[in-house]
Structures are given as C-alpha cells and as structure tokens.
Amino acid sequence: MPSKYQAPRGTFDVLPADARLRQRVERTAVEILARAGYERIATPAFEDTELFERGVGRSTDIVRKEMFTFEDKGGRSITLRPEGTAPICRAYVEHGMHKLAQPVKLCYVGPFFRHERPQAGRYRQFHQIGIEAIGTDSPLADAEAIMLLADLLAELGVPGVQLRLGSLGSPRARSAYLEELRAHLRANEAELSKDVRARLEINPLRAFDADDAGTRDVMASAPTLVDRLEGEDAAHFAEVRQLLEAAGVVYEIDPTLVRGLDYYTRTIFSFVCDELGAQSEVGGGGRYDGLIEQLGGPPTPAIGWAVGIERILLALGETGSAPERDAFLAVADPGQRQRALALAAELRRAGLSAELDLAGRGLKGQLKHADRIGARRVLILEADGSAQLRDMASGEQRTVDAAAIVEAIGGEAR
C-alpha cells in the first residue's frame, strides 16, 4: 500500500543494498586517507548561520539561496551545514589546533544540506567525503591533496575521470583582475543574462559558469586570471603543476574554472566524470589561505577537497548485491529453538554470520527463507539432538557432530 508519507523532495532513503555500496566507498576512502596521515573529525550538522555567511561568502549561491536556515527556540539563526570547510576551520580555531604539529590533516564523512533544484546527482541532503590540510602553504600539499583524490577515484574504479586545474591567485592579484573582468563585462553588458548582470559587481567570476549563449560569447573573449598571475602566485602555481607532472598526474588547465565558494585562493581543481551528465563534477576543492584568519584565527594557509558520495555511486553505476550469510539455523522441531538461539550466538562470537528463524516457520518454510536471504548453508537441528548440515548451492547434506558444530561451519566458511 503506498504510504501517504514520502521522503522530502530532493532527499532519499539509503536502503541496505545501497548502504553496503556506500560502506565500501567510505571504508576505502578512510583507509587511503589514513595512510596519508588524515584523521577523522566530525562537526555538528548545524552551525550558527553567520559562520557560513562569513566563511562561504554572502555573494555565493549557497548563502543567497540554498541554505536551510531557521531560528532555534532561543531565537538564534541556525543553518544546516551546506559544506564542511568552514565548520572545520571553526573547530580548528575553537580548539586552538594551531598549537598542534602543522599541518593538521583532517578527514570527514557525512551529510550536507543545500536547497537546490533536485535532479540526478543533485540532492537537498547529500553526502561528502572530504579532507582539509591546515597550516601549510607548500605546493607539495596541493599536489598531495590532488593525488589523494585521484588515487581514491582510481581505487574505487570511477571511470572517465578528468582533472581540471586553475589558480585564483592571492586576493590582491585577484582584485586587480576582477576590475579588469568587470570592465569587460560592462563593455558587453547588453549581451549578458539578467542574472550575470545583477551580480556583475559582487561576483563577476560566476559569469564563467553561465549557460546562456549571450554570456558565453562575451566570456570567450574575457581576460582570464591564470594568465594574469604574477610573482609568488605564479611561482606557486608553476610548482604545483611541475609536481603533478613529475608524479604522472594528467590534468588540463582550465582558465575559466570557478567554484561556488568565496574562500578559495590560489590553486583550485575539479574532477569531472563523463558518466555523470549535467552534474559532471564528482569532487573538487582548492586552497583557502585566508579563511582561518577571517574566522578569527591566526593567519593560516590551508587546502582541501570534497567528493560527493552519491556522484561516485552514480558514476560507478553499481547496484548493491545481496550479502551472504555463513549459516542459517533451522529447527526440525520447535523444541530445538532454544538450542538454535544459543548456537547462533556461539557462531557469531566465533566471527561467523548466522541467523535463525524468527517467524515460527515449519522446516520447509525455514529452508525457503534461508535461500531467500542468501544463506550458504543451513544447519538443521533435529528433535533427537543430532544435526544435519546442508550446502544450499549443491543441496548436499551430511550429519555433523553436535559437539563440533562451530568448527564444522567455521572450517567451511574459511
């Protein structure tokens, strides 16, 4: 019967088959990241709204239209986190992590919330795996972070991945460039979309992201920041590139690369995937050398990235397979139920997976159920205390010594 209640628009339930796939993705990620010294951090699912206004930036789409913001009972403005970098920087400052050995390398897995128009690969509650390396401005950190994400996607088998790389320079270089870009946009204002025109003063870079033909034409001849990098910014970017090349990482410079968050400085990158269609980015990130200071901490350079778990799963195109159980304990006689319960516990303590009938089925029903849940073997406990072990694939059945049941099942499972 269809329920009158459904998961809210843009959200979804993670059912067990999907949960297994997700667990593999998360485990692989955390293992790869742990080997590079990244430790888990978890921050709350909601924060003071101002953290995101200051951190992510008031001119961004995220802050302007996508945040789930509400007042709590004390009248404070609270926002469900739309991203993880600002909260982690808040935690870094709050816990005085600048006193720890630098850089502090953190990784996280969890849900994030953006009020976007839902479509394939874009949800209102989604999940990210991310890292932040805080307290280093070395180009080595940029190259290492990018390589970790490349390795993760390769290890998971995400097909058709391409890396796009850009640099936004330092804020000073950027503001000179932004003036030049605004002048170009103003000179061609008539051809720009209404949205781009409205944001020409506050966020002219977003014009590179526009879909309409008029704006795209104007942007084809726009000056790009990568070509305007000078001094230390240019040297930093050159070194990141050289390190990636020496490591054999294939990338493409994308002079029009922009990201939807205001905190980025210098290196930015995006991993896109052929399989993903319109929402083609599987993950991305960059440097944010000014964010910690902006949030009240000491000047602290940092870099990080995040990948969307749903986008990884979409790119992999996998559907979950049923798990196998080592054994199902069936009873030929209801008098054996207590023994089945005890044996199941014993098998589990020995590290095996075991289930028993919880629905009072007859023997035939129990065998059918064991088959449906993917049990590899069924132990049939007979009324006289003896036991039969049946292999579900071959149908073969043999008597096992009642005193050595765990050994018999364990020996076959290994």
Binding residues (CB under 6 A) for ligand HAM: these are 83-85, 114, 116, 121-123, 126, 128, 130, 132, 259-261, 281-286, 288, 304-308, 310-311
Q: What is the DSSP string of 358-373?
A: -S---HHHHHHHHHHT
> Which DSSP helix (H) or strand (E) runs through 275?
none
Looking at beta carbons only, is 142 or 355 nearer to ligand HAM?
142
Residues 93, 84 contacting (CB under 8 angstroms): no
- Shortest distance, position 199 Cβ to ligand HAM, whole Å: 18
Q: Which residues of 150-189 are buried (b: 16+ CB within 10 A; e: fewer)?
A: bebbeebebeebebbbbbbbbeebbeebbeebeebbeeee
Q: Which two tokens stand for residue 312?
A: 């990884």
Residue matched to tokens 């009020």: 115
User: In angstroms, what is the minimal distance from the CB of 270 to ligand HAM?
Assistant: 7
Question: Which C-beta is closer to ligand HAM: that of 55 or that of 204?
Answer: 55
* Pair 192, 206: CB distance under 8 Å: no
DSSP at 119: B
Kindly state the smallest distance separating residue 314's Cβ from ligand HAM, in Å.
Answer: 9
Nearest distance, CB of residue 98 and ligand HAM, angstroms:
18
Span between the terminal Cα atoms of the chain, in Å: 43
Residue (of 269, 314, 289, 18) closest to 150 by Cα position: 269
Measured from each CB, the residue nearest to ligand HAM is 308
Spatial distance between the Cα atoms of 336 and 339, rounded to a whole number of angstroms:
5
Q: How far is the CB of 9 from ligand HAM (least distance, A)?
A: 12
Cα Rg of the chain, angstroms: 28
The conformation of residue 227, written as its DSSP 8-state character, comes to: G
Residue 364 tokens, joined:
């035939």
Give the type of residue at 62: I
Task: Pick the closer one to ligand HAM by CB: 122 or 339.
Answer: 122
CA atoms within 13 Å, Cβ hemisphere of 149: 36
**Residue closer to ligand HAM (CB basis): 161 or 370:** 161
Q: Kindly state the smallest distance separating residue 307's Cβ from ligand HAM, in Å.
A: 6
CB of 70 vs ligand HAM, minimal distance in Å: 19
Q: How far is the CB of 281 from ligand HAM (least distance, A)?
A: 4
Dihedral sign, Cα of residue 78, residue 84, residue 86, residue 92:
positive
Residue among 126 and 237 whose Cβ is closer to ligand HAM: 126
**Nearest CA to 66 among 124, 115, 113?**
115
CB of 371 to ligand HAM, least distance (A): 37
Q: How many CB atoms lie within 10 A of CB 388?
A: 15
The structure tokens listed for 140 are 């080595």
Smaller CB separation from ligand HAM, 130 or 297:
130
DSSP 66: I
Kindly tell me which of 114 and 206 has the beta carbon lying closer to ligand HAM: 114
Closer residue to ligand HAM in complex, CB, 66/357: 66
Name which of 114 and 390 has its Cβ closer to ligand HAM: 114
